[in-house]
């Protein structure tokens, strides 16, 4: 019988519902683990994620690009960028011909901080994902992409009566 994360048995009648709930529970547990990890870190989870996106991007990114990649509103990214720029970890670079648009890049200090945090971060990644094989990593990525594709096309509002 399926189990909730805290081992309370549930009897799912619908396999799709059980699979969806397992994705949801896993995401919730990952979020809690991440919050615990970053509690004593020099950056918040959101700040680290933004720096990691910049670090692993081949091209400079605009605020809109960062918003899309982090799955957050542009206004949330603005606050993150302001804090990280003030801390000297990123810089805004004016885009030629468009005074309202900036490309965001890591500073040397930002790159060094990411490099300093990476061993701790990737140790956690290894602990969390250690039960899976390389092949299972690929399967998990492929399957979660399919779930996200379903989310993009799903009708997510409750139908109105009448």
Distance CA 104, CA 65 (A): 10
What is the model's pLDDT at position 162?
Answer: 63
What is the model's pLDDT at position 100?
Answer: 78
What is the model's pLDDT at position 5?
Answer: 57
- Write the burial class of residue 157 (CB in 10 Å: 0-12 exposed, 13-18 middle, 19+ buried): exposed
Distance CA 88, CA 109 (A): 7
Is residue 68 within 8 A of residue 57, CB to CB? The reply is no
Q: DSSP letters of 5-46?
A: TTS-B---S-HHHHHHHHHHHHHHHHHHHHHHHHTTSSS-HH
What is the model's pLDDT at position 1?
Answer: 43
What is the model's pLDDT at position 114?
Answer: 96
Q: In the chain, what are the domain boundaries? A: 1-40
- Paired with 98 in beta bridges are 95
What is the model's pLDDT at position 161?
Answer: 81
What is the model's pLDDT at position 48?
Answer: 96
What is the model's pLDDT at position 147?
Answer: 95
Distance CA 16, CA 149 (A): 15
Which stretches of the chain score pLDDT less than 70? Answer: 1-9, 162
């Amino acid at each position: 019988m399926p189990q909730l994360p805290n081992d309370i048995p549930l009897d799912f009648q619908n396999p799709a519902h059980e699979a969806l709930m397992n994705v949801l529970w896993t995401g919730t547990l990952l979020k809690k683990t991440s919050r615990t990890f970053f509690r004593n870190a020099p950056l918040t989870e959101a700040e680290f994620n933004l720096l990691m996106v910049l670090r692993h991007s081949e091209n400079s990114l605009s605020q809109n690009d960062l918003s899309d990649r982090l799955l957050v509103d542009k206004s949330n990214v603005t606050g993150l960028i302001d804090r990280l720029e003030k801390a000297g970890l990123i810089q805004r670079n004016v885009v030629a011909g468009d005074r309202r648009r900036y490309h965001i890049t890591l500073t040397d200090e930002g790159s060094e901080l990411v490099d300093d945090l990476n061993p701790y971060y990737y140790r956690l990644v290894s602990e969390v994902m250690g039960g899976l094989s390389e092949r299972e990593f690929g399967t998990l990525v492929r399957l979660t992409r399919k779930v996200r594709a379903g989310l993009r096309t799903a009708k997510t509002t409750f139908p109105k009566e009448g």
